[in-house]
Amino acid sequence: MATDQDLVVETVRDILAAHEPFVLTPERPWDQRLWTALTEAGLTGVGIPEEAGGSGGELADAVAIARTLAAGAAAVPVAEQLLVVGPALLATDLAVPSVESPVSVAVAPAVTASADGDGRFLLTGRATDVAWAGTAASVVLLVESGEGSVLALVDTAGLPVAAAANLAGEPRGTLTLDATPATGARLTGGQAEEFRARFALARAVQIAAALEQVLAWTVQYAGERQQFGRPLAKFQAIQMELAEMAGEVTAVAALTDAAVQALDRGEDVVLAAAAAKVRAGAAVEIVARLAHQVHGAIGFTQEYRLHHLTRRCWSWRDEAGTELEWSRVLGAGLLAGGGDTLWASLTRVV
Amino acid sequence: MQAGWTLEEGHDHRIRCPVRYGADLGAAGVSAASLTLAPAPRSEAAEAVRLEVREFLAAELAAGSFEPHVDTWLSGVDPAFSRKLGERGWLGMTWPKEYGGHERSAMERYAVTEELLAAGAPVAAHWIADRQSGPNLLRYGTEAQRREILPRIATGECFFVIGMSEPNSGSDLASIRTRATWDANGDWVVNGAKVWTSNAHHSHYGIVLVRTSPADPANRHAGLSQLLVDLSLPGISINPIRILDGGHHFNEVVFNDVVVPGDMLLGEEGSGWHQVTAELAFERSGPERFLSTYPVVAEFGRRAAETQDPAQLATLGRISARLLALRQLSLRIAAALDRGELPNIPAALVKDVGTTFEADVIDEIRRVVNVPASLDSPDPLGRALAEAQLHSPGYTLRGGTNEILRGIVARGLGLR
């Protein structure tokens, strides 16, 4: 099935293919060479209009890029840039920073914003779990003020960073802000929720792509690995496990795609994103466990490729709001009209 | 688009190969396209008919014409209710008008069936006829068979039973022994027995898989045919097989020298296996494969709305996320059926994931409500949990066990 996104996917793959594998360490917290190659191809500005400094293109293109990079375990903040930061800044009429500089995102309820003149704020507090903190040149934070949420864009140069990493070694540091100047826009409660939902959906998209790749690797490995004189794939016990993985992967893809399409149609996607994030997280549990089980001990090693994706999935399911948080959002949201309207609510989510 | 899946061609990958980008790592896009069916189109017509059905169901509930129950597509037999659906044009929805159908899309039919199941409405009488016997007749039936039977299914007056499994042939369907032989008048003479025939005692016809040539060990799928059998024929006895709670849904249907007119062969002699396979995309992919226990979720939703208990809300969220993913998968298959495809492998996958879900729902809810399951419970949630629990062994067995389904999925993954 050819899609309009095939070309962009091919371009990203070609760039990935020309790169060495990237093992994240505290000393090498991101893949700067890959980032440069992506910027040279204009891929870090896709979905952002040219007049805003981007490369143009559709949401579907941006999603295709984020998916391909996620499946490739690429150590670059592109999903954050294309799926969260760019759209949020455009929606609030804030200037989009150069798409050639890495930018990141965090929900930072412990940071307070005080107004400092027209469209400017001073931010104070600690922003934890900032994706790519220390490497991103700027960061978009959802912070609180006395009068509701503020979406703030902060230049990170000179800001103190306490480095930390997720289970895959992706930077997730803490920024300490002390009357730090920022541009910003006030958000309604609904807009703030929409921002959180976009972030969660971005992680769901990444998980969906990564799990598909994990399945493909596991099927491939089971076909190649010989034990008892035949490939693992010929054992019924292994076939049952791979089929279970396929069921999970396919379910996540269907729901995530539907949520992305709802976003593309301009619908309120808070519940759709919540559902996609929760479903993707639930699938990680099964798919990662079975993938490692089928791979055996080699999959448990650092030299083998599997952990690059399983570790990311184990973290991504907790990021941008945990499964528990989004489950409650979804459950409460579906019952917003009362207990008798659950079914009607379910049929409206996507 | 092909019905089966293909994963990307394997690479020359060594077990100890370190990570390489591109060839190994960047391949998800390709498998994404081939693993999943195309997304279902949005259908305004489906949303419109959905609201009509909802209004109808609210009026029927208010009038006391039915009480919501779990698993009503097996156990909710109510011919009068089926006729009401027929009157409204909600049976045979996708079939040509010349056969009593309504030429609506599979997406519209999906919306109607989903609403009926979610409401726990009594739909068992017509379910099999509308879902798969009718489409099977449309595909393989003679003109006379179609004209005779399809309009009566569409009005909710003609019910069907599936005659596949036998006492010694469960998952291994090709091993069936019921046989049909020609007699001197050109009619079929049928001998044998079928089991697990849901609601045979309420049905008018069965589509019965029979052996019409001796078994050939070299080709186990050869020599099978489907017969359209009027269940009132002499020599047929229908004996109840009660399920564990005493309910009578299943039967043993015994054929003792039953003379079936020669023109009641369905499709081609010897093509029975192929025809049975073609039914499966219809049989395995519908919303009844994940909504059998939805009435429990509906009661649980009312409870969580009252209590606003965080654990209950989270459980409802987790259940709902699974349900919403299944809806999308099932909708995609409905859209593929509209395009004339027979996506048997995705259908097997939906049924595996869906029936696992509908059983899991019981325990997910039990963990966060303090309500014992009992048919005599004063609490509607307790009664719904009890009904769902007592029917639970069937979910992952009927229509192909989940082990068989996973085998089909494994074949789709290229493992067999």
- How many angstroms separate the first and last alpha carbons of chain A? 23
User: Of chain A residues 62-121, which have a CB less than 8 A from chain B?
Assistant: 64, 67-68, 70-74
Kindly indicate the confidence band of residue B5, based on its pLDDT and cuts at 50, 70 and 90: very low
Give chain A positions within 8 Å (CB) of B50: 347
| Chain A contact probe: residue of B42, B320, B327, B381 with most A CBs at under 10 A | B320
CB atoms near residue B138 (< 10 Å): 17
Instruction: Note whether B406 contacts A: Cβ–Cβ < 8 A.
Output: yes
List Cβ neighbours of A253 (8 Å cut-off, separation of 6 or more).
A208, A212, B32, B35, B36
Picking from A17, A215, A250, the nearest residue to B22 by CB comes out as A17
Whether pLDDT at B29 is above 60:
no
Over residues A327-338, the mean pLDDT reads 98
Over residues B204-209, the mean pLDDT reads 98
C-alpha–C-alpha distance, residues B329 and B115, integer Å:
17
B298 to chain A, minimum CA–CA distance in Å? Answer: 7
Tell me the torsion sign for CA atoms A315, A320, A325, A329: negative
Spatial contact of B118 and B330, defined as CB atoms under 8 Å apart: no
Q: To the nearest whole percent, how much of chain B has pLDDT over 70?
A: 91
Instruction: Note whether B51 contacts A: Cβ–Cβ < 8 A.
Output: no
Spatial contact of A3 and A9, defined as CB atoms under 8 Å apart: no
C-alpha–C-alpha distance, residues B7 and A213, integer Å:
10
Between chains, do A213 and B302 touch, taking CB under 8 Å as contact? no
Spatial contact of A88 and A198, defined as CB atoms under 8 Å apart: yes
Over residues B182-189, the mean pLDDT reads 96
Between chains, do A209 and B28 touch, taking CB under 8 Å as contact? yes
Tens of pLDDT along A63-79?
Answer: 999 999 999 999 999 99
Kindly indicate the confidence band of residue B344, based on its pLDDT and cuts at 50, 70 and 90: confident
Spatial contact of B126 and B205, defined as CB atoms under 8 Å apart: no
Spatial contact of B346 and B333, defined as CB atoms under 8 Å apart: yes
SS3 content of chain A, % helix, strand, coil (to 5): 55, 20, 30
| 3 state DSSP class of B161 | strand
B20 to chain A, minimum CA–CA distance in Å? Answer: 5
Instruction: Note whether B28 contacts A: Cβ–Cβ < 8 A.
Output: yes
Over residues B1-27, the mean pLDDT reads 31
Between chains, do A212 and B32 touch, taking CB under 8 Å as contact? yes
Q: What are phi and psi of B202, to 5 degrees?
A: -115, 0
Picking from B306, B327, B352, the nearest residue to A247 by CB comes out as B352
> Which amino acid would we find at residue A41?
A
Instruction: Note whether B277 contacts A: Cβ–Cβ < 8 A.
Output: no
Give chain A positions within 8 Å (CB) of B39: 254, 257-258, 261
A216 to chain B, minimum CA–CA distance in Å? Answer: 7
Q: What are phi and psi of B63, to 5 degrees?
A: -80, -5
DSSP letter for each residue of B170-198: SS-GGG---EEEE-TTS-EEEEEEE---T
- State which residue of chain B sits closest to A221, comparing Cα positions: B15
Between chains, do A254 and B329 touch, taking CB under 8 Å as contact? yes
Tens of pLDDT along A1-57?
Answer: 456 788 899 999 999 998 877 889 989 999 999 999 999 999 999 999 999 999 999
- How many angstroms separate the first and last alpha carbons of chain B? 21
Whether pLDDT at B162 is above 80:
yes
List Cβ neighbours of A94 (8 Å cut-off, separation of 6 or more).
A119, A151, A153, A183, A184, A185
Q: To the nearest whole percent, how much of chain A has pLDDT over 90?
A: 94
Query: What pLDDT is stored for residue B161 in this prediction?
Result: 97
Kindly indicate the confidence band of residue B9, based on its pLDDT and cuts at 50, 70 and 90: very low
Kindly indicate the confidence band of residue B1, based on its pLDDT and cuts at 50, 70 and 90: very low
Name the token pair of A205: 């998209």
Between chains, do B305 and A18 touch, taking CB under 8 Å as contact? no
Give chain A positions within 8 Å (CB) of B25: 16, 21, 71-73, 213, 305, 308
Query: What pLDDT is stored for residue A20 in this prediction?
Result: 77
> Which amino acid would we find at residue A238?
I
Spatial contact of B15 and A15, defined as CB atoms under 8 Å apart: no
Between chains, do A223 and B415 touch, taking CB under 8 Å as contact? yes
Over residues B369-396, the mean pLDDT reads 97
Query: What pLDDT is stored for residue A3 in this prediction?
Result: 63
Query: What pLDDT is stored for residue B102 in this prediction?
Result: 98
C-alpha–C-alpha distance, residues B274 and A168, integer Å:
49
| Chain A contact probe: residue of B54, B171, B303, B318 with most A CBs at under 10 A | B318
Tens of pLDDT along B52-104?
Answer: 999 999 999 999 999 999 999 999 999 999 999 999 999 999 999 999 999 99
CB atoms near residue A138 (< 10 Å): 18
C-alpha–C-alpha distance, residues A325 and A136, integer Å:
27
Spatial contact of B21 and A17, defined as CB atoms under 8 Å apart: yes
Kindly indicate the confidence band of residue A186, based on its pLDDT and cuts at 50, 70 and 90: very high
Spatial contact of B391 and B309, defined as CB atoms under 8 Å apart: no
Q: How far is CA A224 from CA A62, A72, B278, B409, B414, in A?
A: 34, 21, 33, 19, 13
Whether pLDDT at B21 is above 50:
no
C-alpha–C-alpha distance, residues A324 and A117, integer Å:
38
Question: pTM, whole model, 2 decimals?
Answer: 0.94
C-alpha–C-alpha distance, residues B338 and A272, integer Å:
26
Instruction: Note whether B108 contacts A: Cβ–Cβ < 8 A.
Output: no
Instruction: Note whether A302 contacts B: Cβ–Cβ < 8 A.
Output: no
Kindly indicate the confidence band of residue B36, based on its pLDDT and cuts at 50, 70 and 90: low
The mean of the pLDDT values for chain A is 95
| 3 state DSSP class of B105 | coil
C-alpha–C-alpha distance, residues B407 and B116, integer Å:
31
Picking from B1, B15, B50, the nearest residue to A298 by CB comes out as B15
User: Of chain B residues 125-164, which have a CB less than 8 A from chain A?
Assistant: none
Picking from A19, A219, A323, the nearest residue to B413 by CB comes out as A219
Between chains, do B326 and A219 touch, taking CB under 8 Å as contact? no
Nearest to B344 by CA among B280, B299, B296, B297: B280
User: Of chain A residues 304-333, which have a CB less than 8 A from chain B?
Assistant: 304-305, 308, 323-324, 326-332
List Cβ neighbours of A115 (8 Å cut-off, separation of 6 or more).
A121, A145
DSSP letter for each residue of B118-146: HTT---HHHHHIIIIIHHHHHHH--HHHH
C-alpha–C-alpha distance, residues A279 and A248, integer Å:
9
List Cβ neighbours of B83 (8 Å cut-off, separation of 6 or more).
B155, B156, B157
Give chain B positions within 8 Å (CB) of A21: 18-21, 25
Whether pLDDT at A125 is above 50:
yes
Over residues A253-262, the mean pLDDT reads 96
ipTM of predicted complex: 0.96
C-alpha–C-alpha distance, residues B321 and A278, integer Å:
6
C-alpha–C-alpha distance, residues B182 and B185, integer Å:
8
Over residues A164-192, the mean pLDDT reads 96
Q: What is the dihedral of CA B37, B41, B45, B48, to 10 degrees?
A: 90
C-alpha–C-alpha distance, residues B267 and B161, integer Å:
17
Query: What pLDDT is stored for residue B167 in this prediction?
Result: 96
Nearest to A111 by CA among A145, A88, A160, A155: A145
Nearest to B353 by CA among A255, A98, A263, A126: A255
C-alpha–C-alpha distance, residues B68 and B52, integer Å:
18
Cα angle vertex B284, ends B57, B121, to 5°?
Answer: 15
Over residues B101-108, the mean pLDDT reads 96
Between chains, do B27 and A338 touch, taking CB under 8 Å as contact? no
Among residues B115, B283, B299, B387, the one annotated as catalytic is B283
C-alpha–C-alpha distance, residues B26 and A155, integer Å:
32
Nearest to B334 by CA among B125, B114, B88: B114
Q: How many contacts, defined by CB atoms under 8 Å, are there between A and B?
A: 264
Active site residue B8: no
Instruction: Note whether B23 contacts A: Cβ–Cβ < 8 A.
Output: yes
C-alpha–C-alpha distance, residues B297 and B123, integer Å:
19
User: Of chain B residues 320-379, which have a CB less than 8 A from chain A?
Assistant: 320-329, 332, 346, 349, 352-353
